Homo-oligomer: A and B are copies of this chain.
Amino acid sequence: MTTTPQTLFATHEATLRQAVEASRSRAYWSAFPEMPSPRAYGETAAADGEAAFAAYQGKPFVLDQPGATGTAGGERSPFGIDLGISYPVSDIDALLTAAKAAMPGWRKAGPDGRAGVCVEILKRLNARSFEIANAVMHTTGQAFMMAFQAGGPHAQDRGLEAVAYGWAAMTAQAPAARWEKPQGKNPPLVMDKRFEVVGRGVALVIGCATFPTWNGYPGLFASLVTGNAVIVKPGPTAVLPLAITVKIAREVLAEAGLDPNLVTLAVGDTIAKDLALRPEVAIIDYTGSTGFGDWLERNARQAQVYTEKAGVNTVVIDGTDDPKGMVRNLAFTLSLYSGQMCTTTQVIFVPKDGIQAGTERMGFDQVVAALAGGVDKFLSDPERAVEVLGAIQSDATLARIEEASKLGTVALPSRAIAHPRFPEARVRTPLILTMDAADEDKYGHELFGPIAIVVKTDSTADSLERAARLTRTRGALTAGLYSTDPALIEQATDAFVEAGVALSVNLTGGVFVNQSAAFSDFHGTGANPAANAALCDLAFVANRFRVVQSRVPVVAEAAQ
């Protein structure tokens, strides 16, 4: 049987319906196994993935797309390996022309057909998770397990979530209707109507350096499923994971009889800015610095712009029944990927008089010492530590750790750790500082990387007021609270809801404030300056397409 969008929809319809139902119920669900086990992925999957990754190195990346004018490359793994891969540079006009030309056929595949194709792409990506994990690891500096999970199945789940939302939104109205309006004793007015879903134009996805697939897939798949062509512009240091993604997407599109130029890769120095201002570009998804995010929002006026930018994530500690669990949980949060997650806690507010911890009081200094000790202990075994910390992605972050250590009182210095397998890897443990509440000019803006600050406040009320205000003014993707007082928890929840940030309360076990689960947790809210959209909700997909109708009378209508 020939593969068509319709056959792919038939194949994947059950998955799609499960994804829609999960995103409605918000209960636990995942389409893609998160453990890199041979049982789930096949006995040879790990070795195959490593071999595929090795085969890319030192060569041009083969991607047969229009307008090739040269090549660009230069990725270096934060674990200390030059990848030596060059990618085709394409002429912008050629990319845009090809993208536009591909759209009418994509429109005619319809919502079902497009969803089928998108799920097929995701399934193929899933089968290549080990290959992508190696690519993510050696571009972002994530340790392997995280690169596999966040870069593979979790990113694929986020992509599927976007497909599910897009498909549900596109099919929120019937594709056709017979409209019959009674006219009293006269015959009714009868019209046949058709409602076509039309993409907005060419979509641009601007990838980030730390989570190229996890942060890139939602926009990519939300735009694609809703009928747009997508140009993917990776961050210059993390091209490979998205180049592989584009290649797989193009293969699936071609196999389904569609124009592969619906998904293309853009590399080059100024290409993000150049593309962003083109009238053909109707949608932009961006993850990265506030500077360029604000520039896009200000200047790419012709486009619908979705941005995730910087923020200051806070945790308020009022008290806890389980101080050890709290410290263990926070130590993992601060250590994971050396704090290079947009969701990592930066500021921990603790009252100057300390907290109630189980049956005992813990003074401010004791809380700081427990945190510092907890992180230090958690990272005491280098072999284990590097599998949590990964490597520092950029020189800028490396320099920031150094500079930040002068900003406050150092409670735990950042240490370099020698990586047992990658001698040139730049591995650093978290820096923990203490500051006074009045030092907001120092702690009150994003210090990206393994930098945490315990801030001494007057009281929990003061902590909450400061956390909520920082969220409103500086943005945040996450907030945390530890308290044993139900009334305070309720009041604080209300305050964080009003401030517009997702709150995690009393995490002491295996769920972490910096992790969010597709189909259940919204990543970002769009309600504070850290992001103007959430991954994924209806608002993230509903503006990526339009419904255009036509109508025609069915029977002879009554003359007036």
Contacts and interface: CB of A to CB of B under 8 A. Distances in A.
A501 B551 CA distance: 12
Interface stretch (A148-156, A433-441, A447-455, A541-549): A541-549
Contacts of A291: none
Q: What's the dominant secondary structure at chain A's contact region? A: mixed
A28 B179 contact: yes
Given A26-B179, A181-B28, A497-B548, A508 B560 contact: no
Nearest to A180: B28
A92 B173 CA distance: 40
A557 interface: yes
Interface string A313-346: 0000000000001001000100000000000000
Interface stretch (A137-145, A400-408, A421-429, A520-528): A520-528
A28 B183 CA distance: 12
A502 interface: yes
A537 B195 CA distance: 12
Contacts of A538: 169, 172, 538, 542
A23 interface: yes
Contact of A557 (B179, B198, B510): B510
Contacts of A552: 489, 504-506
A500 to B, nearest CB: 6
B520 A547 contact: no
Interface in A204-247: none
A498 interface: yes
Contact of A503 (B177, B179, B183, B551): B551
A503 B507 CA distance: 55
Q: How many copies does the complex hold?
A: 2
Given A189-B509, A191-B511, A526-B546, A27 B180 contact: yes
Q: Which of the listed residues A297, A522, A551, A556 has the most CB atoms from chain B within 10 Å of its own CB?
A: A551
Contacts of A180: 27-28
Interface in A69-85: none
A359 interface: no
Given A527-B198, A560-B332, A189 B547 contact: no
Smallest CB-CB A-B distances: 4 pairs: A509-B557, A26-B177, A527-B546, A505-B552
B546 A543 contact: no
Nearest to A30: B181
Contacts of A503: 549-551
A178 B27 CA distance: 6
Contact of A24 (B169, B172, B510, B546): B172
A225 B195 CA distance: 26
A498 B374 CA distance: 60
Given A301-B298, A560-B332, A173 B24 contact: yes
Nearest to A521: B549
Given A526-B546, A549-B503, A509 B169 contact: no
Contacts of A183: 510
Interface in A161-200: 168-169, 172-174, 177-183, 189, 191, 193-196, 198, 200
A125 B410 CA distance: 65
Given A200-B527, A493-B550, A509 B558 contact: yes
A350 interface: no
